[in-house]
Amino acid sequence: ANHTKVHVFKSDIPPWQLQANAQIPFIASHIPTSTKLGDLLKGFGCTNPSAKKNICFELYSGGNGKWYKGYSFTGDDKDEIGKTMDEVGWDSSRTGNKGEKPVVCLWFCKS
């Protein structure tokens, strides 16, 4: 099965609101690209009974230690949570190697 490399940022403050070059701890994971986005939310602790409060944001490096938010979805977004990681471009090509696509960087919140 194909996997993608994911860095899950651990921060109480949204990473795009942090100062440049803030040290943000993260967990590195290899996740099967067939994983549905709804299962990804649950797997990373987004289990708020109010589904719309469970949110995943993709992060992009803006250089100079800044992060920007990209694609996002919530637990009540029925069209999105049924999609697989492959379907949103989080696939095995996201290696982070020189000359290749960046690692998938995600930030989850449930409030």
| 31-42 pLDDT per residue, tens | 999 999 999 999
Burial bucket for residue 108 (CB in 10 Å: 0-12, 13-18, 19+): middle
Report the predicted TM-score, pTM, of the whole model to 2 decimal places.
Answer: 0.94
- Confirm if 38 and 87 have CB atoms less than 8 A apart: no
pLDDT(1) > 90:
no
In whole numbers, what is the pLDDT of the chain averaged over residues?
96
pLDDT(29) > 90:
yes
Domains of the chain: 3-109 (3.10.20.90)
Average pLDDT over residues 58-84: 96
